[in-house]
Every structure is written in C-alpha cells, then in structure tokens.
A and B are shown apart, each in its own frame.
Chain A
C-alpha cells in the first residue's frame, strides 16, 4: 500500500498483488524479475507554504519487464505527475524513483538526460513531431542527439518504423501523414533503440477507436517483448490493455486490479 493518507479508503493497495505471481498479462510472466520502474513512497508538492498543492501523496508503484500498468483517475488525481516523475522529467518532493535499479536522485542533469534518451520512451497525446524532419529523421533524432552515428541511427529508426507498420512512409513529412500515421511515428520514436521503459500519456488522443486500438496493440506488443510500460488514461477501454490498473484519487493510489482474479472469481465474488 502506498504511504498512509487520512482519506484513503480501506482498500487493498496497488502493490499488494505481485504481478509476477501468475499469468496475469498478455505476455510471458515467468520468474520474478528486476523492476524496470520503482516509485517508493513518492510525494510531489507544487508550491510552498499555504499555497502548496500536493499532486502525489506517498505513491508506491513497481513495474516489471513484460508488464503494462495503467493509471486511471479523474483530472487532478496526479496521473500526469506520476508519469513525469517516472520518466525523470520532474523530481519528487520526497520518496525515490528508480529506473532499472538506478536511483534518479543520484543522477545529475546530464545523467538524467542521457537515461531519458537511451532507456525511456515517451508517447504523449501531443505528438511533438518536428515538421521539418521526415518520419525517419524524427525517429532517429533522439539517437543522434545521444551520439549514435547517422547511418546506424537511421537503420534503427527504420526498424522502429517497421515495427509500427510504417516502413513505407519513412520519407514523408508529418503533414503528409494522417493523424494515426503521425501517432505511429511518435510511437516508433518512443520505441527506437533499447528503451526498456515506455511511458504513455493518453496516447490515443483524438484518434478514432480503430486507430486508437492499433496504437494500444503496438504498445502491448512491445511490452510483451520485454519492455515495461505505464499507460496514463481516463478511458477504461484503453486501460483494459494493461496487466494491472492502478486507481489514483487526490494524489493517492486507492486501489488496483489484482492480476490473478479471473472473470469467474469476479462474477462469483462480487455478488452481482
């Protein structure tokens, strides 16, 4: 359970069920593996003194390879704050964030930037594709910024575009692509190279349901191949793709779905 808070209902906490305890996910979940992401009693407060606004209040979360965790909650519940901390885009007021066993607290600005470029992929609702670069150049950019040679970066970018079914359209500019195709490019950019942690914030945005589902399939497939994923969404349909769903309310993780409970247990146990 996350750190105590006075308003937390008496419900099992999100970290009580062990995600490796059984076949909870779409992908292979074998023996316990080292967590890719670990949030330990993380607090984040914006502002100070009387104006202080708590965004997260003692949230703990562990995500292992092959596991996709969805985070749900109403607006202002702390979903995006959690994702920003997980990705090293923000630092907690207290508590610790570990990515692949490394405490982000111990990294300086450059070290953090390097980790973000190499190991963490972000998929945002706003795609942030650069209009003057082709699809393949957009995808290769984070690798090139990290010092990868142009030729190798391009090859890896093409691999990533192939993974999302966009290998034929690599030379197009973003404004020559549909919304769904642009989102695929953004996903390829998030997956390129050896990213072990994929963070997605409402990744289907305004896409139609079929295209949105295709996006989630891609995310699911990458996680099944061994990455760890965190998906922030307010759509139950999207959260359904996750192995575990954590519910945030007022900055506190109030509940999570148990990986082992099957439909039969649900039906017999809920009294409905």
Chain B
C-alpha cells in the first residue's frame, strides 16, 4: 500500500489535517506502519500538486485541513479496483538467502531453514496473541491486518517445510561442486557432526 492512497482513503471519510491523518493512518494499520509527520506533509503536497487533494483555510488553531478532490476520488477508486501486482513487491530476501546457502561452501542449509522457521514461528505466536486480544467489533480492520501477516508467516513456515523435505530428497550430482553437495546432503551434514 502506498502512503499516497492511504491518505486519499482517509480523506474520503472527511477533511483532516496532518496530525489527524497520521493518527488515523497508524490506527488503521494497527501501528504496524508508523509514519512521521514529515512524510504526511510531503505526501500531501504531492497530492495537492497532482490535483488530488486541496487545502482548506487554516483553523483558528493554525491547522490546515485538506479535502479530497473529484480527481482524488477517481484515483482512489482506480486503486481499489486494481489488484496489487506481485512484481511491485520487494524481492524475497529469504528465498534468495536459501538459494545462496545451497551453493555456498560450508553452509548448513538445514540449520538455516530451522533457524528461520523458529523465528517465523515466534512471530506467528506474537501475531496470534495480538489477535486473541483484539476481540472488539471495532478491532476488525486491525484483525484483518493481523490475519494477513499471519497468513504470510504461515506460508513461510510451509515453504520452509517444503524446502526441508526437498533437501532430504536432494541427491547432488556426482560431479557437482563438492562443498555445496556436502552442505545440503543429510548424510553429509550428519557425517560432519
């Protein structure tokens, strides 16, 4: 999610000034995505430049609220209507790490897998605990954010299980690079201990 569309979605509820937007943004993401006020104002000025929001007169307290424009609403509607592309997401560092571990001499891949599985499982425990504690009807948006993170963690553990199964079955080619075949083979790993 972009901050830009997050702010547009919040302004669709009604006019808000910077600090209100920051608080509402953090509330709707369960504080998993903290924003600093500078990011909010930088984004607002870009939205204003692109004609998607407009500033309103300052209040007596010196706060300047913003409201969404028709062009902003159209942009927001397009965002909701368009699926997020997987290619827009950052590369999966863990997948790259394991792929490199397989071909790097002296790396015990099963230990890399287990270390990650333990860490991911711990995160899943934390997320489950947070969800368990979020029972109020008004917690629904936050619970859905938690669910998304839980499904991702769960998928990662399943993928790690799959990696481990593949490692057990893996039979490196006889002429393959010696160090990596020793590192990944179950019997090789046990022999080294």
Contact = CB atoms under 8 A, between A and B. Distances in A.
Contacts of B154: 235-237, 240
Contact of A7 (B119, B122, B190): B190
Interface in B114-135: 114-129, 132-133
Interface in B74-113: 93-94, 108, 110-111
B193 interface: yes
Given A9-B111, A26-B129, A262-B126, A255 B118 contact: yes
Contacts of B122: 245, 257-258, 261, 266
B157 interface: yes
Interface in A226-272: 234-237, 239-243, 245, 247, 254-258, 261-263, 266, 269-270, 272
Interface in B127-162: 127-129, 132-133, 150, 153-154, 157-158, 161
- The B contact surface, by secondary structure, is helix
A83 B111 CA distance: 26
B12 interface: no
Given A9-B108, A11-B111, A240-B150, A263 B126 contact: yes
A239 B124 contact: yes
In this complex, the member of B118, B119, B125, B165 whose beta carbon has the largest number of chain A beta carbons within 10 angstroms is: B125
A110 B121 CA distance: 40
Interface in A33-49: none
B164 interface: yes
A242 B111 contact: no
A7 B110 CA distance: 11
B93 to A, nearest CB: 6
A23 B157 CA distance: 24
Interface size class of A (residues with CB under 8 A): 20 to 34
B114 A236 contact: no
A257 B111 contact: no
Contact of B150 (A217, A220, A237, A261): A237
A236 B108 contact: no
A263 B150 contact: no
Contacts of A7: 189-190, 193
A250 to B, nearest CB: 10
Contacts, number: 87
A10 B190 CA distance: 12
A265 to B, nearest CB: 9
A262 B119 CA distance: 10
A149 interface: no
A245 B93 CA distance: 25
B114 to A, nearest CB: 5
A111 interface: no
B186 to A, nearest CB: 8
A6 interface: yes
Given A236-B157, A239-B124, A240-B150, A270 B190 contact: no
Contacts of B161: 74, 234
Interface in A85-135: none
A242 B126 CA distance: 10
Contacts of A261: 122
A41 to B, nearest CB: 19
A6 B193 contact: yes
B124 A236 contact: yes
B127 A240 contact: yes
A58 to B, nearest CB: 15
Nearest to A25: B129
Nearest to B129: A26
5 contacts: A236-B154, A237-B154, A240-B124, A240-B154, A257-B125
Interface of A: 6-11, 26, 72, 74, 217, 220, 234-237, 239-243, 245, 247, 254-258, 261-263, 266, 269-270, 272
Given A236-B154, A239-B121, 4 more contacts: A243-B125, A245-B118, A245-B125, A257-B122
